[in-house]
Structure 1
């Protein structure tokens, strides 16, 4: 399996790591995703799609908080990925993050996995 670290960036309360694994871009946000940090996640998701990696796996295991702006970033990435023939797979959401998706009904439009392994195998 192709494992390549693409990049990492950090601004305040959010760090985002990106690596390519097979045909997927694995994006791992760690910390708080809100209106102050949303672009830090939006940019690598959009870049992955523009580089032909339309299958985005977002490992949420280290994501401690997500507000509506963060949710909108993921919804926007989903639309772009699907337009390119892919999709967004969310992995290992903590209860506080999952709650935002449940309240808004957004969990219905994403494929959610318990583990990174299952997301990559799907």
Structure 2
């Protein structure tokens, strides 16, 4: 499943890799583009599921994007699962560090490391 707004500023793709749901984000996640992420997270949520959000392709994330991920984390936890982040870099990593959100989520250097058996 791939969702991309008409303006092309943001895209989200959902896949299953080794039993883990991986959401791959690209572009700018902000007030105008957060809805496709919310919809993808809701559609992909399954009880007890482990989800990894690949943020390596994300150039920008504002407080709306952060809040969407925080709400998703709570929903996933309520369903008995786990939401993890991978590939934080640049201004996105800085925003997560400044807000302390990088301490709320398990954060991996990249998706490959997140999917290693010792991280399940």
Do Structure 1 and Structure 2 share a fold, with TM-score over 0.5? yes
Superposed, 1:97-116 pairs within 5 Å as 97-116=92-111
Contact residue 48 and residue 80 of structure 2 kept, 8 A: no
Unaligned runs of 5+ in 2: none
The one of 11, 16, 22 equivalent to 1:15 is: 11
* Divergent runs of 4+, >6 A: none
Q: Distance in 2 between matches of 1:111 and 1:100?
A: 16
Q: Which shows bigger deviation, 22-31 or 58-67?
A: 22-31
Does the residue aligned with 2:12 lie in a helix, a strand or coil? strand
Structure 1 unmatched ranges of 5 or more? 1-6
- Once the two structures are TM-superposed, the CA of residue 53 in structure 1 deviates from its matched residue by 6.2
Query: Given that residues 25 and 53 in structure 1 are in contact (C-alpha distance below 8 angstroms), is that contact kept between their aligned partners in structure 2?
Result: no
Give TM-score scaled by structure 2 length. Answer: 0.90
CA contact (8 A) 1:10 1:16 kept: yes
Indicate yes or no: 2:44 matched with 1:48: yes
- Whether 1:64 aligns to 2:37 is no
- Cα distance in 2 for partners of 1:38, 1:114 equals 23
Secondary structure at 1:88 match in 2? strand
Q: Distance in 2 between matches of 1:93 and 1:22?
A: 22
Count of aligned positions: 115
RMSD: 1.2
How far 1:118 sits from its partner (Å)? 1.2
TM-score w.r.t. the length of structure 1 is 0.89
Matches of 1:40 and 1:86, distance apart in 2: 21
Partner of 2:83: 88
